[in-house]
Amino acid sequence: MNVVIADDQVIVREGLKMILSLHEEIHILGEAKNGRELLQLLDHAVPDVILMDIRMPEMDGIEATLAVKQRYAAIKVIILTTFNEDEYIFEGLKNGADGYILKDSGSREIMNAIKTVWEGGVLLNPKVAAKMAEAFQGKRKEGPETENKLHLLTPRELETARYLLSGKSNKAIGEALFVTEGTVKNYMSRILEKLELGNRTELILYLSKLDRI
């Protein structure tokens, strides 16, 4: 997998490169210190996954994620965040982010995030998912109520959706439900079809807006 790192802090970029260099399947295609530099880099080298800092000068990770997804829809974007930046989570997901992980995540967690989004999943660190739910609580009060269509789901599909919202990967959901990852993917496909949603990101946004799940 080809990976690009976008972060304005040299020490963070170097740390991520050191972690990723331990894995033979990862190739660092390039790095950028802000969103504008990242977009220039993508004119010459298109990666599979971008590790994107949420706060950068000139163009932050939220704006850059939208620009990347508009130009290169196939690129997966994992946003790097700290625990106190939950106000950006909603906008990042709306702009197409495929996952959120905390900056202090360990090597195994970072690699799991990269593999999960590369395989088509959406990954949220459990702590980030919890903060996102808190953020949506406030947004529900501001906007119109979202129609709850969860009655259309089977008990198994509903359980799968709950696990997704809690930040679990396909593998973790499969282990929790004692089914294969392929079965989890089938559940997800049926959930999206029944709720008339386009992808997992839209599903997470939808579930987070509901009063009860």
Predicted structure pTM score: 0.72
Residues 6 or more apart whose CB falls under 8 angstroms from that of 97 comprise: 52, 65, 77, 78, 79, 201
Task: Summarize the confidence of residues 94-120 as an average pLDDT.
Answer: 84
pLDDT of 184 higher than 70? yes
Say which residue, 154 or 201, is predicted with more confidence. 154
What's residue 10's pLDDT? 94
- Reported as a single tens digit per residue, the pLDDT across 141-177 is 455 566 789 999 999 999 999 888 776 778 888 999 9
Asked if residues 45 and 4 have their Cβ atoms less than 8 Å apart, the reply is: yes
What's residue 86's pLDDT? 59
E-strand ranges in the chain read 2-6, 27-32, 49-53, 76-81, 99-102, 123-124
- Reported as a single tens digit per residue, the pLDDT across 64-92 is 999 999 999 899 999 988 755 656 777 77
What's residue 141's pLDDT? 47
